C-alpha cells in the first residue's frame, strides 16, 4: 500500500512538473549551475592535485635533496635577510658522496645558468633554457630517462668532455624532423658540445623539464665558473622503506662534512618532492574552500527560486487541492505530494549539474594530461545538497497546501 502510494505521488509530481515546463526548466537550470560550479571546480582541483603529484614524482621518486639554506623575514611587502648560511661547495659535496656508506645513489648538480641559449646551425632557442651541470648519477636521482642516445659516463665527468644531454622539446626547436640530434654539435653559451642523449618527454610539466640542457659538472665548473657557485646533492635510497632513516643518516654525515658540533643548528636544507607537494596542496585547500562557498551560494539562490515556484504552484492548484481533500485525501498526503515534487526537481537539477560538472572539470585533465577523474565523494555531496534544497524549498509550500480548507479551495478561481 505504501509503495503504491509513493509511486502515485511520484507520478503526480512528474505530471505537475510537465504542466509548468518553463518555470521548472529554469529552476532545474539554476540548481544545475550550482552543482556544476561545485562539482566542476572541485573536479578540476582534484585533477590539478593529481598533476602536481605526478609531476613531482617524475622529478625523482624516493629522492631527497641537500642544499644550502638562507633565512629571510617578510614584513608586509618588504623582505629582510636574517641569516645567510654558507653555500655548499663542490668539495663538500664530493666529500659527502665519499663518506655516505649506506645503500644510496648520490649525485651532485649545480645550475650553470637559467637563461642559456642553444644554437644549431641557423636555429636557436630563446634565452631561457636552464643549463645544469651534473655527474653520472643525476638522471637516475632526478627521475629522468634517456629516450635516445646515452647518459654521462664516469669518463665524461673525469675528462671534462664537452658533451650534452638535451630535453625532448629542444630537439623540435633546434633540429628538423629528419635530423637525428645524436652526434650533432650545438652551441651552449660560447662553447661547443656534442649531443649524446635526448631525455624522454615528461609531457605538460609545470617544471619545464622537457627543455633543459645537462652538461658534465666538471665541464660546467670550467666553462661557467663564477664566485660562490652553489651545489646540490640528490640522494636516492635503494630501499624506499628506509627513506626516513636515510634522510637522518645523510643529515648526520653532512653535519660532519660541514664541521658542525652537536649544539649547532643544521645550516642546510633536506627536502623531498613530498614536502613540496604537501606545501602546494596545502595552498590549494583554500581554493577548494572558496569553490565550495561559490557552489553553496548558488544553491542557496536555487533554493529560493524553487520555493517561489512551489508557492506559485500551490496557488495555481488550489482548486485541485480542494478536490483532492473533498474526495478523502489527507493533509499528510497533500504535504508529501508537494515535497516529492520539490525533491524531484532538485534531484533532476543535481543530476544535470553533476554530469556537466564532471565534464567541465575534466577539461583540466585533458590540459594537464592526467587520467579522467570521477569525484564520487563530491557527487554524493551534490546529491545530498540537492535533497536538502528540495526539502527546505518544498516544506513551506507543502505545509501551506496541506492546511488549505477544502471548502475555500473549491471556491477558488
Q: How far is CA 354 from CA 34, 48, 156, in A?
A: 10, 19, 57
Q: What is the pLDDT of residues 340-395, one digit of tens each?
A: 777 888 888 888 888 888 887 777 667 766 667 777 777 787 778 777 877 777 77
Mean pLDDT of the chain: 78
| Residue 312 clears pLDDT 80, i.e. is over it | no
**What is the C-alpha to C-alpha distance for residues 277 and 342, in angstroms, rounded to an integer?**
43
| Residue 1 clears pLDDT 50, i.e. is over it | no
In our burial notation (b when 16+ CB lie closer than 10 A, e otherwise), range 235-245 reads bbbeeeebbee
- pTM exceeds 0.85 for this model: no
Q: Are 118 and 186 in contact (CB under 8 A)?
A: yes
pLDDT of residue 106: 92
Q: How far is CA 338 from the centre of its chain?
A: 43
Q: Are 216 and 132 in contact (CB under 8 A)?
A: no
- Phi, psi torsion values for 100, nearest 5 degrees: -65, 125
Report the pLDDT averaged over residues 196-217: 80
Helix (H, G, I), strand (E, B) or coil at 264: coil
Strand pairing class (191-199; 146-149): antiparallel
Residue 409 C-alpha cell reads as: 479551495
Query: Which tops the pLDDT comparison, 23 or 247?
Result: 247
Q: What is the pLDDT of residues 258-306, one digit of tens each?
A: 888 888 888 888 887 665 566 666 667 777 777 777 777 777 777 777 7
- Compute the chain's Rg from CA coordinates: 33
pLDDT of residue 166: 94
Amino acid at each position: 500500500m505504501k509503495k503504491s502510494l509513493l509511486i502515485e505521488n511520484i507520478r503526480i509530481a512528474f505530471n505537475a512538473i510537465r504542466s509548468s515546463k518553463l518555470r521548472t526548466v529554469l529552476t532545474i537550470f539554476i540548481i544545475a549551475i550550482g552543482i556544476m560550479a561545485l562539482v566542476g571546480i572541485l573536479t578540476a582541483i582534484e585533477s590539478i592535485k593529481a598533476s602536481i603529484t605526478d609531476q613531482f614524482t617524475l622529478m625523482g621518486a624516493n629522492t631527497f635533496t641537500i642544499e644550502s639554506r638562507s633565512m629571510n623575514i617578510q614584513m608586509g611587502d618588504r623582505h629582510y635577510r636574517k641569516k645567510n648560511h654558507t653555500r655548499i661547495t663542490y668539495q663538500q659535496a664530493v666529500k659527502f658522496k665519499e663518506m655516505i656508506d649506506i645503500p644510496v645513489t648520490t649525485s651532485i648538480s649545480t645550475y650553470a645558468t637559467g637563461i642559456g641559449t642553444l644554437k644549431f646551425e641557423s636555429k636557436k632557442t630563446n634565452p631561457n633554457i636552464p643549463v645544469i651541470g651534473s655527474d653520472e648519477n643525476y638522471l637516475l636521482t632526478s627521475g629522468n630517462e634517456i629516450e635516445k642516445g646515452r647518459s654521462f659516463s664516469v669518463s665524461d665527468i673525469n675528462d671534462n668532455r664537452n658533451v650534452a644531454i638535451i630535453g625532448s622539446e629542444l630537439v623540435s626547436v633546434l633540429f628538423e624532423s629528419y635530423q637525428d640530434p645524436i652526434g650533432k654539435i650545438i652551441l651552449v653559451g660560447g662553447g661547443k658540445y656534442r649531443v649524446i642523449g635526448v631525455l624522454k618527454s615528461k609531457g605538460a610539466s609545470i617544471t619545464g623539464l622537457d627543455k633543459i640542457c645537462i652538461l658534465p659538472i666538471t665541464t660546467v665548473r670550467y666553462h661557467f665558473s663564477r664566485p660562490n657557485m652553489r651545489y646540490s646533492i640528490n640522494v636516492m635510497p635503494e630501499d624506499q622503506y628506509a627513506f626516513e632513516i636515510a634522510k637522518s643518516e645523510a643529515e648526520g654525515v653532512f653535519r660532519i662534512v660541514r664541521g658542525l658540533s652537536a649544539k649547532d643548528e643544521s645550516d642546510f636544507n633536506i627536502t623531498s618532492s613530498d614536502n613540496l607537494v604537501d606545501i602546494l596542496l596545502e595552498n590549494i585547500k583554500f581554493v577548494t574552500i572558496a569553490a565550495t562557498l561559490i557552489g553553496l551560494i548558488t544553491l542557496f539562490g536555487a533554493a529560493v527560486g524553487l520555493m517561489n515556484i512551489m508557492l506559485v504552484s500551490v496557488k495555481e492548484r488550489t482548486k485541485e487541492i480542494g478536490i483532492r481533500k473533498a474526495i478523502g485525501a489527507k493533509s499528510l498526503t497533500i504535504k508529501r505530494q508537494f515535497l516529492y515534487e520539490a525533491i524531484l526537481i532538485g534531484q533532476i537539477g543535481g543530476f544535470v549539474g553533476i554530469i556537466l560538472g564532471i565534464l567541465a572539470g575534466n577539461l583540466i585533465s585533458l590540459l594537464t594530461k592526467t587520467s579522467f577523474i570521477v569525484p564520487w565523494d563530491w557527487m554524493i555531496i551534490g546529491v545530498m545538497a540537492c535533497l536538502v534544497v528540495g526539502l527546505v524549498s518544498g516544506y513551506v509550500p507543502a505545509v501551506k497546501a496541506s492546511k488549505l480548507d477544502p471548502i475555500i479551495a473549491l471556491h477558488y478561481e
